[in-house]
Amino acid sequence: MRIPIVAGNWKMNKTVEEARSLAFELSRKLREIEGVEKVLCPPFPALLAVSALLQGTDIGLGAQNLHWEEKGAFTGEVAPNMVAEFCKYVIIGHSERRAYFGETDETVNKKVRAALVHDLTPIICVGESLDENESGRTGEVVRRQISLGLADVNPAKAAGLVIAYEPVWAIGTGRASSGENANAVLADHIRPALADLFGAETAQAIRIQYGGSVTGANAVEFFGQPEIDGALVGGASLKVDDFVAITQAAAK
């Protein structure tokens, strides 16, 4: 059985002080919820403070990005071992990074492999744009993102990957996909693409989240679907009650 995983992507929000206070409020309520893996992903400057706060809880910490090189002259970048000092998880290939910062399936692939070397759990984002969706190319797009993004990943580590299916048109728009539609993309395209790479058994073990305008109100619809193993949450992860409700809805 796959244990559901709910991760909060705080994006570029919260100073260190604000992050500390949000993480404190969240941890008080989240620590009581069992049967779901819980992850907070604050911005880089807040990782140290939030990691101290989460010590001794079962709430994991994640970064929102990393660079694939080990060290060196890469101004402004953060190396995998620096992320691994504080974090167990790292979000890779979010559609905002693909759209605004030039990430490609190839850079996603380098980042995923670098993360695994450092025993980080990558949360790899895939998903189609509105245009791709409307022209019936959803399957083709997510299959390409999976096959190129996860090429040459060590099969022994593949079962530990987390995929986030996030249709770009649903992110931050308040226009979530339906549970049924999202489930169909996972069943028809994402899990089969994972099976092509790693075999059916490993593909069954890999957790696939849904992301895109998930709220406390619509979470149940997604988690009732057989293929959906949790959520990657943006806007609602900054609201304590909403994020707690989403986490509760995911708990098995």
Q: How far is the CB of 172 from ligand PGA (least distance, A)?
A: 4
Binding of residue 235 to ligand PGA (CB under 6 A): yes
* Contacts with ligand PGA, 163-202, as mask; x by CB under 6 A: ---x----xx------------------------------
Q: Residues 42, 23: contact at Cβ < 8 Å? A: yes
Hey, which residues does 8 pair with through a beta bridge? 40, 233
Q: Which of residues 139-168 bind ligand PGA (CB under 6 A)?
A: 166
Over the window 6 to 45, marking each residue x when it contacts ligand PGA by CB under 6 A and - when it does not, the resulting string is: ---x------------------------------------
Catalytic residue among 67, 94, 103, 189: 94
| Phi-psi region at 63: left, alpha or beta (left = phi > 0; alpha = psi -120 to 50) | beta
Annotated catalytic, 25? no
Tokens of 60: 């994991």
Closer CB to ligand PGA, 9 or 183, in the complex: 9
What is the DSSP secondary-structure string of 210-246?
Answer: EESS--TTTHHHHHTSTT--EEEESGGGGSHHHHHHH
The H-assigned helical ranges of 63-153 are 80-86, 95-100, 105-117, 130-134, 138-149
Q: Is 93 in the site for ligand PGA (CB under 6 A)?
A: no
Stretch that binds ligand PGA, among 18-26, 30-38, 142-150, 229-237 (CB under 6 A): 229-237
CA distance linking residue 67 with residue 101, whole number of Å: 13
**Cβ of 192: how many Cβ atoms within 10 Å?**
15
Residue indicated by tokens 């395209």? 189
Given the residues 166, 189, 221, 227, select the one marked as catalytic: 166
Burial class of 121 by CB neighbour count within 10 A (0 to 12, 13 to 18, 19+): buried
| Nearest distance in Å: CB 236, ligand PGA | 6
Concerning whether 166 is annotated as a catalytic residue, the answer is yes
208 is a contact residue toward ligand PGA (CB under 6 A): no
| Tokens matching residue 125 | 């984002």
Residue 5 vs 171, nearer CB to ligand PGA:
171
Helix (H, G, I), strand (E, B) or coil at 174: coil
Phi, psi of 210 (to 5 degrees): -105, 145
Give least dist CB 216 to ligand PGA, A: 12
Residue 4 near ligand PGA by CB under 6 A: no
Q: Which range binds ligand PGA by CB under 6 A, 108-116, 127-135, 199-207, 227-235?
A: 227-235
- In the complex, which residue's CB is closest to ligand PGA? 234
Residues that bind ligand PGA in the complex, under the rule CB under 6 A: 9, 166, 171-172, 211-214, 232-236
